[in-house]
Amino acid sequence: MNYKDIVKENSKVMQFIKDRTPGDNNIDMYFGTLDYATARLNTILLRLSERPLLADEYAYEVSECHSAVQDFFKYTERLRFGSRLLAWYYKIVLHGIGTRRISKIKKLLTKVEDNA
């Protein structure tokens, strides 16, 4: 697993967050979740880059967390720029990703910091 590629993809997410226009409370909460998840994932990558043996142990979980952030980003983008007819579907998908997959990022960060 190459952390450099993950960081490059996360930079696209961070730029998307910076470019947003605040004001819509329904979408702002998704941006907040995306911001926290990306920051936590970058912290995990930083901690694991300091300890390569620990990085091998958590490689699968890091890839799962990365795919969760990318999926959340994709559906947030679709909610913001997509069809209003499908907004209900995007919100349901985002809720599922947020409750099931994004929460794993915080758990992984806790495990990595405890082992460090």
Note the pLDDT of residue 40.
Answer: 96
| 78: its two tokens | 């679709």
pTM of the entire structure?
A: 0.91
Domain of 78 in residue numbering reads as: 3-111
Which string of DSSP letters, residue by residue, matches 41-91? HHHHHHHHHH-HHHHHHTHHHHHHHHHHHHHHHHHHHHHHHS-STTHHHHH
Whether residue 116 is contained in a domain is answered as: no
Whether residue 85 is contained in a domain is answered as: yes
Note the pLDDT of residue 116.
Answer: 66
Q: What is the pLDDT of residues 58-69, one digit of tens each?
A: 999 999 999 999
How many distinct structural domains can be found in the chain?
Answer: 1
Q: What is the pLDDT of residues 2-49, one digit of tens each?
A: 888 999 999 999 999 888 877 777 788 999 999 999 999 999 999 999
Note the pLDDT of residue 26.
Answer: 79
Residue 85, Cα to own-chain centre: how many angstroms? 25
Note the pLDDT of residue 34.
Answer: 94
Q: How does residue 52 score in pLDDT terms, banded at 50, 70 and 90?
A: confident
Give the separation between CA 96 and CA 90, rounded to whole angstroms. Answer: 10
Distances (CA, A) of 81 to 30, 57, 87, 110: 14, 38, 10, 34
Note the pLDDT of residue 71.
Answer: 97
Whether residue 62 is contained in a domain is answered as: yes
